[in-house]
Structure 1
Amino acid sequence: MSDKESSHSDMDHEQTKQTPPNFAQKRGKKRLRNSPGTELDKFKEEMRQMMTDLKVTQEKELKKINPNLLEIKTSNAKIESSISFLTAQNEELKKKIDNLEQDRRADKEYINLLEEKIEDMSREARKKNLEIKNVPKLEKETRGDLINMVTKLSQNIGYTIAPTDISDIYRVRSRQSDKPNSPIIVEMVSAIQKTDFLSKCKEHNTVNKTNKLCAKHLGHSSLDTPIYVTEHLTAKAARLRFLARDLARSKSYEFCWTSMGKVFVRKSKTSSIILITNESQIQRLFQES
């Protein structure tokens, strides 16, 4: 073997000795680089699969939910439609109620106006009348007996009237059999005469505290049954007089009287005169006093 071949042989032998360590080193480095990447890829694949499965699951759930949502949506639409319809009806009913309320107020005002007119007409029809209460009833009592009672009473109070001064006279029919002493209504020929007659009756009671008007002043023999001579009031005025007297007693009003079918009260001589027109007014006076 020549020196040249020997030299190449030695070099090859040296390379052969050195190659295995370098090759092993390179393979080791390759495994280190690829190992994390493989794990990452595997993780990514698992995540991708999970996302796919989740998407599939969600799609299945949505397919189940969508019909329900559609049903709910349809129901909501119907509910909204019903609410709109009811709202429209409510508005219409509200308008009708408002109109009815306006009509009711107008009718009430008109009824009050008619009642006032009727009250005025009734008061006018009674302006010549007076009423004598608690007069004992005679057996087989006649119209002539009633006229004699009134004329006898006029003599006793110092304001004599003749039978011709009486336009009409009658005793009110009693609805209660246990109360025969129903009022006697007397219609005079003039309102002035009636007013003067009432004034004389009041004057007699004021002057004669121990001998106020009673049945004997009408000609009944020695009967001390008290009698009361007043204006012939309408039912409304009579009710107001009753309440006004209660007001006067409860709240110390000095005066309570009637004139021409109307009721008046007065707190004192220096206070203003109050015309009583309705029961609500009396309630207010109770609260104010």
Structure 2
Amino acid sequence: MNKSLSESNLNDQITAGEQNITPPNFVFTRAAKKRKEQDSPTNLMELPYSATENDFHAFVNEMRGMFNNLLAAQRQEFDNINPTLKSIQETNAKIEASIEYLHIENTELKKKIKNLEQQKKEDAKYIVSLEEKLENVQKGYRKANFEIKNVPKVEKETKEDLIKLTTCLSNTVGVNITKSDIKDIYRVRGRKENISNAPIVVEMASTLLKMDILKNCKAYNKRNTTKLCAKHLGCAVNKETPIYVSEQLTPKASRLYFLARDLVKSTSFTFCWTAYGNVYVRKDENSSIIAIINETQIQKLYNSD
């Protein structure tokens, strides 16, 4: 072939070649490979069926044995637990019976306590009633009595000496009494020994006469700058020792009188006095008179002031 072909000749040859050349075919084909005969389904179906069934039966028997062993173990465990459960049930039954018994006992005790509390209230009311009756009896016994306090004691003192002291006092305050007006007279024994100025109790024959002596003694102290003292009773020693004349109060009334005087000192109450064995307080001359009955009443007066 001539390498020096002209351009026109080259083009002519390309055109002629394009008309004669067949287009290439790009479709490729693969040769099918044969599968191995042992991989075909037909060969799988041809496996020995008897071997698979034996394995299955063996598996079933093994599982059955395992379940049987498990059941046997559970039965044994239940057999061991049953006595314990029975014991627990018996214990629970005893506990329930005990609880029921305690409940019944508790109910009975509550009833008894309630009855005792009610009885206590009734007893308290009865005791208060008895105390009031005893207080009234003691007041009645003391209604004609008065006390002379802080009188010096002489050696070998007799009732006659005490009567002379009392008559001398009555003459000083302007109430003339005689020996026959005095039912009894004595000096109270003190709680401590060797007390020389224990009170003198005078039991008069008349309550009115007693009230006259108390009234005149009070008036004498208001009227005179020199208050009643031992010399007004005719005492030869310790003449200037002050003496005090008052009603003979019961132990309860004495306690109330002491508390009532503290009430007057601490609050707006102004007056506190005794009459016929009773204790009275008053805020002022225009207020009402209050009879003191018990200590609770005094506490209420403190709170209300």
TM tier relative to shorter chain: 0.7 to 0.9
| Structure 1 partner of 2:16 | none
C-alpha contact (below 8 Å) 1:213/1:227 kept by paired residues: yes
1:2-13 to structure 2, matched below 5 A, reads none
What amino acid is aligned across from residue 136 of structure 1 in structure 2? P
1:111-130 to structure 2, matched below 5 A, reads 111-130=127-146
C-alpha contact (below 8 Å) 1:174/1:180 kept by paired residues: no
Between the aligned partners of 2:261 and 2:201, the Cα distance in structure 1 is 22
**CA 136–201 in structure 1, closer or farther in 2 if over 3 Å, else same:** same
Shift of 1:104: 2.4
Superposition CA RMSD, Å: 2.9
Between the aligned partners of 1:34 and 1:127, the Cα distance in structure 2 is 133
Between the aligned partners of 2:209 and 2:50, the Cα distance in structure 1 is 139
Between the aligned partners of 2:58 and 2:221, the Cα distance in structure 1 is 127
| Structure 2 partner of 1:185 | 201
Shift of 1:65: 1.2
What amino acid is aligned across from residue 206 of structure 1 in structure 2? K
| Structure 2 partner of 1:106 | 122
Between the aligned partners of 1:212 and 1:25, the Cα distance in structure 2 is 148
Shift of 1:129: 0.7
Aligned with 1:263: secondary structure?
A: strand
What amino acid is aligned across from residue 134 of structure 1 in structure 2? N
1:220-235 to structure 2, matched below 5 A, reads 220-221=235-236, 223-235=239-251
| Structure 1 partner of 2:74 | 58
% same residue: 51
Between the aligned partners of 1:39 and 1:272, the Cα distance in structure 2 is 119
> How many aligned positions are there?
267
1:171 aligned onto 2:194:
no
Q: Which runs of 5+ in 1 are unaligned?
A: 1-20
| Structure 2 partner of 1:161 | 177
Shift of 1:81: 0.8
| Structure 2 partner of 1:4 | none
Shift of 1:29: 4.3
Q: Which has the higher helix share?
A: 1
1:143 aligned onto 2:143:
no
Which one of the candidate residues 278, 281, 286 is aligned to 1:262?
A: 278
What amino acid is aligned across from residue 270 of structure 2 in structure 1? E
Shift of 1:181: 1.5
| Structure 2 partner of 1:249 | 265
Shift of 1:187: 1.8
Aligned with 2:202: secondary structure?
A: strand
1:216 aligned onto 2:231:
yes
User: Which deviates the most, 227-236 or 93-102?
Assistant: 93-102
| Structure 2 partner of 1:82 | 98
Shift of 1:40: 8.4
Between the aligned partners of 1:57 and 1:34, the Cα distance in structure 2 is 35
Structure with larger Rg: 2
Shift of 1:272: 2.8
| Structure 2 partner of 1:11 | none
Shift of 1:75: 0.4
User: Which deviates the most, 232-241 or 98-107?
Assistant: 98-107
| Structure 2 partner of 1:70 | 86
| Structure 1 partner of 2:168 | 152
| Structure 2 partner of 1:238 | 254
C-alpha contact (below 8 Å) 1:205/1:213 kept by paired residues: yes
